[in-house]
Chain A
Amino acid sequence: MKNSLGRWLVPVIGGLAFVFLLVPIAYVFVFSFNDAGRTNLTWRGFTWDNWRNPCGAPEVCSALGNSLQIGATATLIAVVLGTAIAIGLVRYRFKFNATANMLIFLPLATPEVVLGASLLAQFLNVGAELGKGTIIIAHTVFCISFVVVTVKARVASLDPKLEEAAADLYASPMQAFWRVTFPLLLPGIVAAGLLSFAISFDDFIITNFNSGNVDTFPKFIYVAATRGIPAQANVIGSAMFIVALLIVIGGQVLAHRRRKMLAAR
């Protein structure tokens, strides 16, 4: 039967793809236990030391702190601005609709190198001092676009009648937004925020152009790569991966339980 080929081909390729995706992470995880010393290139024996003392290489932790702070701030700004744009673009008509959509699309169609270089050119021209602020601005630019496209899909699938029903039931525009629109958009907003944070946290190129001498986690690793990455970086990388996984899977499990509970009633 012809069908059988496709039947196992998809799971096999899909499964291998996941292996491909996760192999380096497994490597990073394993080498976080390496008794490495200065260069974490070859296996020198098992130790808990790196995990017991993740800030043993102090620059790692301060870089991580910067990354978290920048990611959170950029995500917050992008989510607020982007959600407003998404609602505006879907629900209202503008004379310059095409231009507006283009302005959202362009940052996604611009390679990071160009985005980073153009902001740097701008900051140099106005004489701005490079640092956390400039990194946050740079990250927010591309995060907004990701938020807009993600939330827009959610807004488009939201029946405008629901807001009308709220207004009809004595909800002021503000109440209608916070009690009806916002809760219904929330899954999309959370997804957009998660994506924004992930991309910001992982960004190197744009950061590298606009960071001055502030270190972020990826930048620290890149710079360290030439003289050897401390095993503490592996600890942080693994821990972040696990934390992200636990948070989201925890949420999934809770949602799953609730669905089951509702279905059982």
Chain B
Amino acid sequence: MSVQAAADKTPAPDKRRGGSERGSGELKEERRRGRMGYWLILPGFLFLLLFFVLPVFSLLATSLYAKPPGADIGQFVPALEFNNYVRMLGSYWPELLRSFGFALIATAAALAIGYPMAYLIAVRLRHHALLRGILLVLIIAPFFTSFILRTQAWKQILADEGPVVSVLRTFALLPDDGRLTATAFAVVCGLTYNFLPFMALPIYANLERLDIRLIEAGNDLYASGFTTFRTVTLPLSMPGVIAGTLLTFIPAAGDYINAALLGNNRDTTMIGQVVDSRFFRVVDYPGASALSFVLMLAILALVFIYVRRFGTKELL
């Protein structure tokens, strides 16, 4: 999806220059058939089958379990208890909607920040290999500091007694009792921050392969940098943008660390927090599974609509 989409869409310099003389019939067999191919993909696919597909069915099954009368905590029996879904959706639809809302805003913000970032490295610094490499590493390296540590750092930077709040209060940009942490704003900022690399990297991978001569030709023809960007660069980098938005939106919608660390208990609760607490605190496995399953279906539905609308089949 991510890097792949980027690679396939952009016009690479034509390697087959002067090599167009192979007949159509002779080109048909670019991809081989044969058993070797199956042996290559078999181990990986078995793994995914065993530890991804099967668990999803397990999740589905668990979501329909019932609690027999008088059972201990955590004891459930296989059943077809569709009421689990009704129960969960009835109680937690606001959290579900909020999660999508937060994720959507965070994705838009990450795009607004991540695109210039990727453009700066991939296009503006095209001929500065070393600097480009260093900035690229700076996008990935934060993973190693641990995102919880970084989110915790944000919490302290934005804390009521922290430097940012006091500066903002001094300049009356924030009312005296105003705060940054424990607000929806802080949660969305945290989401934007944490998933920014997932936005910037696919866009970078795409822009990296963009032929700069196209931009120059655009500037030559339109004479305005912005028009060139809108009519040439942006459409060509769409696969990267789509991959980036998906890789940001999906984890953001399911995230609960930001809401837990930067939010409050009233109006910032996200669906991930509910799933987590249903699993580990309430020990309601069927309920938690039902919610997970709903979240998965909802995201898949959104993703497919999105990809149908904007995407290409290379995304899949």
Within 8 A of B (CB), among A173-222: 194-195, 198-199, 201-202, 204-205, 208-209, 217-218, 221-222
Q: Is the interface of B mostly helix, strand, loop or mixed?
A: helix
Given known A25-B145, A91-B32, contact A109–B303 (CB-CB < 8 A): yes
Interface string of A230-249 (1 = CB under 8 A from B): 00011001101101110011
A87 to B44, CA, bound (A): 12
For residue A165, CB closer than 8 A to chain B, the reply is: no
Which of B129, B152, B205 touches A256 (beta carbons < 8 Å)? Answer: B129
Q: How many contacting A-B pairs (Cβ < 8 A)?
A: 321
A198 to B141, CA, bound (A): 8
When distances are taken between beta carbons in the complex, the residues of chain B under 8 Å from A14 are 116-117, 119-121, 124
Q: Is the CB of A21 within 8 A of B138?
A: yes
For residue A7, CB closer than 8 A to chain B, the reply is: yes
For residue B232, CB closer than 8 A to chain A, the reply is: no
Within 8 A of B (CB), among A126-176: 137-138, 140-141, 144-146, 148-150, 152-153, 156-157, 159-160
For residue A53, CB closer than 8 A to chain B, the reply is: no
When distances are taken between beta carbons in the complex, the residues of chain A under 8 Å from B3 are 149-150, 152-153
Q: Is the CB of B40 within 8 A of A87?
A: yes
For residue B71, CB closer than 8 A to chain A, the reply is: no
Q: Is the CB of B55 within 8 A of A119?
A: yes
Q: Is the CB of A218 within 8 A of B147?
A: yes
Given known A14-B116, A81-B44, contact A28–B149 (CB-CB < 8 A): yes
User: What is the total number of residues of chain A having a CB less than 8 Å from a CB of chain B?
Assistant: 110
Which of A10, A18, A22, A113 touches B124 (beta carbons < 8 Å)? Answer: A10
A238 to B144, CA, bound (A): 8
For residue A85, CB closer than 8 A to chain B, the reply is: yes
A194 to B150, CA, bound (A): 20
Most buried by A among B37, B41, B147: B41
Q: Is the CB of A259 within 8 A of B129?
A: yes
Most buried by B among A15, A85, A137, A199: A85
Given known A113-B256, A141-B51, contact A245–B137 (CB-CB < 8 A): yes
Q: Is the CB of B299 within 8 A of A194?
A: no
CB distance from A152 to the nearest CB of B (A): 5
When distances are taken between beta carbons in the complex, the residues of chain A under 8 Å from B37 are 88, 91-94
When distances are taken between beta carbons in the complex, the residues of chain A under 8 Å from B187 are none
Chain B interface residues (CB < 8 Å from chain A): 1-4, 6-8, 12, 15, 30-34, 36-38, 40-41, 43-45, 47-49, 51-56, 58-59, 61-62, 113-114, 116-117, 119-121, 124, 129-130, 133-135, 137-154, 156-157, 193, 196-197, 200, 205, 219, 224-226, 229, 246-247, 250-251, 253-257, 261, 271-272, 275-276, 279, 285, 288-289, 292-293, 295-296, 299-300, 303, 315-316
